């Protein structure tokens, strides 16, 4: 089978970075798929607005600390992606509501070709972002969404990718 994509165009797997356990499964899946398909990974971290907006000095300090933590997390995850896929990921760090910023990135960054999310493994269900993307927004997306079971181990990821 020949590759029909235009020269210089590689499949980009977008992973939404958060603090959930299953996010690492989505990250590992995307990095393996990128490695095996000659693609790359993009990481999106969304800093959601704080609740204490009436105290601007406190809010500014909290935003600064949150941004530093987000940058450190993205750098650690970028190293993981590099180790697995052999390429550095594209990093997106934005402020706003997670679902809205995700839709904005998908629509504006035409290099993104697949959104990779991992489903939560607890009783609460797959997670609010998955519910939003595969439910409410599924008919409006320009790219496919891959939902990976959040409990997969590395051997299972290797088999799937």
Q: What is the pLDDT of residue 134?
A: 78
Neighbours of 16 (CB within 10 A): 26
Q: CATH top-level class for 12-96+106-152?
A: alpha beta
Mean pLDDT of the chain: 88
Low-confidence ranges of the chain (pLDDT < 50): 1-7
- Alpha-carbon span 12 to 74, nearest angstrom: 17
Secondary structure letter of residue 5 according to DSSP: S
Instruction: Check: CB of residue 120 under 8 Å from CB of residue 20.
Output: yes
- Alpha-carbon span 7 to 80, nearest angstrom: 27
Q: Which of 116, 86, 88, 89 is nearest to 102 (CA)?
A: 116
Sheet-wide strand order for 40-47: 90-95, 40-47, 12-17, 112-119, 145-149
Secondary structure letter of residue 136 according to DSSP: I
Q: What is the pLDDT of residue 48?
A: 87
Q: Could you report the per-residue pLDDT of 84-94, keeping only the tens digit for each?
A: 999 999 999 99
Q: What is the pLDDT of residue 124?
A: 76
Q: What is the pLDDT of residue 54?
A: 64
Sequence ranges of the domains in the chain: 12-96+106-152
Q: What percent of the chain has pLDDT over 90?
A: 65
């Amino acid at each position: 089978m020949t590759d029909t994509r235009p020269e210089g165009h590689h499949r980009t797997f977008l992973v939404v970075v958060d603090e959930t356990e299953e996010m690492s499964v989505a990250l590992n899946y995307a990095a393996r798929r990128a490695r095996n398909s000659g693609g790359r990974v993009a990481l999106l971290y969304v800093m959601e607005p704080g609740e204490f907006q009436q105290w601007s000095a406190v809010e500014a300090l909290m935003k600064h600390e949150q941004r530093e933590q987000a940058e450190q997390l993205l750098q650690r995850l970028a190293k993981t992606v590099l180790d697995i896929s052999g390429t550095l990921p594209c990093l997106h760090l934005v402020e706003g509501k997670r679902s809205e910023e995700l839709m904005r990135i998908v629509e504006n960054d035409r290099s993104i070709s697949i959104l990779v999310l991992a489903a939560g493994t607890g009783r609460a269900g797959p997670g609010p972002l998955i519910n939003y993307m595969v439910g409410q927004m599924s008919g409006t997306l320009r790219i496919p969404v891959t939902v990976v079971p959040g409990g997969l181990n590395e051997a299972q990821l290797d088999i799937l990718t």
